[in-house]
Amino acid sequence: MGAAWPGRCGRDPCGALCLLLTYLSVGYADYVILTHILLQPGFRGSLWCPFHAVMFNLIVLLLLACHTRAVFADPGMVPLPDTAIDFSDLRSNTPHKSERSNEDWTVCNRCETYRPPRAHHCRICHRCVRRMDHHCPWINNCVGELNQKYFIQFLFYTGLASLYAMGLVLTTWLWPVDRSFPGKMEGVAGGISNNHVQMAHCIVLLVESILFGVFVTVIFYDQVVSIIMDETPIEQLRNRLLKEARREVAHTRKPKIALLREVFGRGFVICWFFPCNCSPPSSGAPAYSYLPNYDV
């Protein structure tokens, strides 16, 4: 079911463009660091060259793995019924639902099906998604209940790679000469500072790292806050419009660590940094149903 999901969002030209831009940006950053930074006299010939090459590419590998999982994972789409559902009793305001367990179930007029609490319809994917956060063009998919972990990991490693790239560029500019060989750079005026091609690549990489770093940091912070507050951006906007920020169910909010574990898994905290499901077998993916439980 997860593999078929991105195909429904594949017609979004903005999402396809953002996917291409993401891979081109990551590939360009890796190229500049390996070719125009680590092979310069400040790193070449020292143990720092293979160390930074391995560490940066490890971050890039985790970044791409998390991004791939976020793209191809099912965000938690609400299944469509095999046959049409009769909503005549609901439209006639007949009290048919159980007030105990189904008071938050709603009907999606676009999908023509019941949807569970906190599920919302995505106008791009044309499906309802459980605990939908938003539709992200950078993964060409919705961010929902089942792939929010991978999306946040992608943001984390993108910010870490941006910070790493900025540090390498600044280090190359501040220490352009390999001090282990004082006479090696004689006759090369300033090393990388006078090489216009290398300087241009480093400037572009620095600007790219700053832009992407600030961008993903803001989104990462917003994602963590929404998890801790137990409110998606859609719910925050709705409560703001309805002026219900202090609604009656506020006292039932779960502890912050419990809310984080719902997204990242109930295993060890170290597993939160890897794009895999590290939860115990008993806490697997929730079973989906397109019908609420009625009292018959």
Out of 9, 128, 136, 142, pick the active-site residue: 136
Judge whether 141 and 67 are in contact, CB under 8 Å: no
> How far, in Å, are 35, 112, 139, 140, 287 from residue 135 at the CA level?
36, 21, 9, 8, 23
**Catalytic residue status for 136:** yes
Instruction: Provide the greatest CA pair distance for the chain.
Output: 90
The radius of gyration computed from the CA coordinates of the chain, to the nearest angstrom, equals 25
Which residues carry out catalysis? 136
